[in-house]
Chain A
Amino acid sequence: MSYSDKVIDHYNNPRNVGSMDKQSTDVGTGLVGAPECGDVMKLQIKVNPQTNVIEDAKFKTFGCGSAIASSSLATEWVKGKTVDEALAIKNMDIVKELSLPPVKIHCSVLAEDAIRAAIGDWKKKQEAPKPVAAEAK
């Protein structure tokens, strides 16, 4: 089991570990995977409501080194992109960047799922009816 230098780097120095306020309307949360499978990723994004730019991203992952690296990389890549640009991120881009072997490709798929889930959650919040201001008398 030999990992690429980039995977090892992300494992030792993971970027953007942490959590955001799930309740905030600017935050989208994606939780993918299952403990029985040995892979669970939580990815959160903070989106600027005017520009739709992802200003910040955080992750937490239960999984192997490749899973940790894939989700860490995902948070790096979505930062600064618009929501639509982030949706264009494909798992094979992650595979290439981290030189993941075939047996670990599913980690990159899960990371792509996590991005989509986070964006989906944020979008759902934008479509929800906004609190109506009290009518001025």
Chain B
Amino acid sequence: MSTDVKIPQAEVETLHTNGKGVKLPIYMDNHATTQMDPRVLEEMLPYFMEKFGNAASRNHSFGWAAEEGVETARERIAKLVGATTKEIIFTSGATESDNLAIKGVAEMYREKGNHIITAVTEHKAVLDTCKRLEKYGYRVTYMPVQKDGLIDLDDLKRAMDDKTILVSIMFANNEIGVLQPVAEIGKLCHERGVIFHTDATQAIGKVPVDVIKQNIDLASISGHKMYGPKGVGALYVRRKNPRVQISAIIDGGGHERGMRSGTLNVPSIVGLGKACAIAQEDMPQESCRLAGLRNRLRDRIMGRLDEAYINGSTEHRLPGNLNISFAYVEGESLLMGINDIAVSSGSACTSATLEPSYVLKALGTGDDLAHSSIRFGIGRFNTEAEVDYVADRVIETVERLRELSPLYEMAKEGINLKDVKWAGEAH
């Protein structure tokens, strides 16, 4: 029984080096966004002040120089995913790519059918787009996932009918890092003559993506998730076996083979290309290093704390992702206690509402455990020292908050919290 508990809190200054050799604050939220790689910035710079031409200006060297930068980037992106350059179009980001892929297919193939299949754990860019299409009369099936976060292929098979025109399942989940069996999904779709789109935002540059081997017809790509610039992305659109066509959602000049009008954001496109080139080279080594760091973080935390649960498959997972629920400790208070570390609780995208994560709910996680979850995203610039520091701070904060928690106390007394009649109203 302690009163007036005083725990020293690490000071949060903009740049503070503690005795353990880490600079604070630490960024470990690489699924939300990533720091730009200095090599990417260097590649982009000439395109602001010197090679500043409009890539569509066909008649002078300013335009040609810009176009050259764009086409080099296009090649690099195509190479990373196993596509041809004609199959890569540039967008403002993965959200636009998702919109373009789904709406583009829906409109183009509406004579063929009006049924779309996706999953409940998709990013809002996919889910909200599907909701809008439902308003226009399309039928959407939102497939559930299993406890480990993976789609059941038999369920998918059963969900398809003769009006199905599109399946959209993300390659890697942004919250729990789970990797879907995309090659099998693609194969199934091709057998049925259904187009397969995957939001590959979190996967590109982290795990191998091969549109041919993995039977992918459309893939969304984002720059700022792979140490490239924000505000730029790409969409892979298959041209052979089968040829996929999409209606544009932005009109105005017919750029990008008529699929996406608008003057190209040349510097950012160049940056995206460079980010892909770096990933192509560094991926094998980097994913190994990140998995090692992630496992170190996981083992250190799980080794010290009881009743900590990893959300999502441990086997089919992005190397740098970890998502843990700490029973009896509320997520926002946990974040407050580790305020010199940048991570997320629940989905970063819905953090404004502080609603419990819908992805965790889809796994069958209870609301209280969903509220108690932390997502760690280890990235290129994280070090082992940072991982150790983060682990220790999380452990000490969870332990401290459990001392404050009536739920932990009740659990230790042997009370089953599910049997308790709570005074509070249900959500």
Residue A132 CB within 8 A of the other chain? no
Residue A34 CB within 8 A of the other chain? yes
Decide: B336 and A3 in contact? CB cutoff 8 A: yes
Residue A102 CB within 8 A of the other chain? no
By secondary structure, the B interface counts as loop
Residue A48 CB within 8 A of the other chain? no
Decide: B3 and A37 in contact? CB cutoff 8 A: no
Interface stretch among B253-261, B269-277, B289-297, B327-335?
Answer: B327-335
Decide: B424 and A14 in contact? CB cutoff 8 A: no
Decide: B405 and A62 in contact? CB cutoff 8 A: yes
Choose one: A13, A32, A42, A62; the contact of B6 (CB below 8 Å).
Answer: A13
Interface stretch among B89-97, B109-117, B118-126, B365-373?
Answer: B365-373
Decide: B423 and A68 in contact? CB cutoff 8 A: no
Residue B4 CB within 8 A of the other chain? yes
Q: How far is the CB of B417 from chain A (nearest CB, A)?
A: 6
User: What per-residue 1/0 map shows which CB atoms of A27-46 lie under 8 Å from chain B?
Assistant: 00001111111111110000
Q: In the assembly, what is the distance between CA of A34 and CA of B420, in Å?
A: 9
By secondary structure, the A interface counts as mixed
The winner among A3, A12, A110 for most chain B CB atoms within 10 A is: A12
Q: In the assembly, what is the distance between CA of A36 and CA of B369, in Å?
A: 9
Residue A123 CB within 8 A of the other chain? no
Q: In the assembly, what is the distance between CA of A19 and CA of B9, in Å?
A: 25
The winner among B1, B7, B9, B404 for most chain A CB atoms within 10 A is: B404
Chain A contact residue count (CB 8 A cutoff): 35
Residue B407 CB within 8 A of the other chain? yes
Decide: B427 and A31 in contact? CB cutoff 8 A: no
Residue B409 CB within 8 A of the other chain? yes
Choose one: B368, B403, B417, B425; the contact of A17 (CB below 8 Å).
Answer: B403
Residues of B within 8 A of A16 (CB): 3-4
User: What per-residue 1/0 map shows which CB atoms of B1-24 lie under 8 Å from chain A?
Assistant: 111111101000000000000000
Choose one: B7, B9, B366, B406; the contact of A62 (CB below 8 Å).
Answer: B406
Choose one: B356, B371, B406, B426; the contact of A60 (CB below 8 Å).
Answer: B406
A32 and chain B: residue at smallest CB distance:
B423
Residue A80 CB within 8 A of the other chain? no
Decide: A64 and B427 in contact? CB cutoff 8 A: no
Residues of A within 8 A of B136 (CB): none
Q: How far is the CB of B292 from chain A (nearest CB, A)?
A: 33
Decide: B7 and A38 in contact? CB cutoff 8 A: no
Residues of A within 8 A of B366 (CB): 35-36
Choose one: B371, B405, B409, B422; the contact of A38 (CB below 8 Å).
Answer: B371
Residues of B within 8 A of A117 (CB): 423
- Which of B381-427 touch A at CB < 8 Å? 403-409, 417, 422-427
Residues of A within 8 A of B426 (CB): 34, 36-37
User: What per-residue 1/0 map shows which CB atoms of B82-115 lie under 8 Å from chain A?
Assistant: 0000000000000000000000000000000000
Given A33-B424, A40-B406, verify A14-B336 contact (CB < 8 Å): no
Decide: B328 and A62 in contact? CB cutoff 8 A: yes
Choose one: A3, A39, A64; the contact of B424 (CB below 8 Å).
Answer: A39
Q: How far is the CB of B1 from chain A (nearest CB, A)?
A: 4
Residues of A within 8 A of B336 (CB): 3, 11, 64-65
The winner among A16, A35, A58 for most chain B CB atoms within 10 A is: A35
Residue A61 CB within 8 A of the other chain? yes
Q: In the assembly, what is the distance between CA of A40 and CA of B417, in Å?
A: 12
Q: In the assembly, what is the distance between CA of A33 and CA of B406, in Å?
A: 11
Choose one: B332, B356, B417; the contact of A64 (CB below 8 Å).
Answer: B332
Q: How far is the CB of B269 from chain A (nearest CB, A)?
A: 35
A-B contact pairs, 27 of them (CB 8 A): A12-B7, A15-B3, A17-B3, A17-B403, A19-B409, A33-B424, A34-B422, A35-B366, A35-B407, A35-B417, A36-B427, A37-B425, A38-B330, A38-B332, A40-B407, A42-B406, A60-B405, A62-B330, A62-B406, A62-B407, A63-B330, A63-B333, A64-B333, A65-B336, A68-B404, A110-B424, A117-B423
A-side residues, CB < 8 A to B, are: 1, 3, 11-19, 31-42, 58, 60-65, 67-68, 110, 113, 117
The list of the 4 closest CB pairs from A to B, nearest first, reads A34-B424, A34-B422, A42-B406, A35-B368
Q: A60-B404, A67-B333, A68-B404 provided; 17 other pairs, C-beta below 8 A?
A: A3-B336, A11-B333, A13-B5, A15-B4, A18-B3, A32-B423, A35-B407, A36-B366, A36-B368, A38-B332, A42-B409, A61-B406, A62-B408, A63-B330, A65-B333, A65-B336, A68-B333
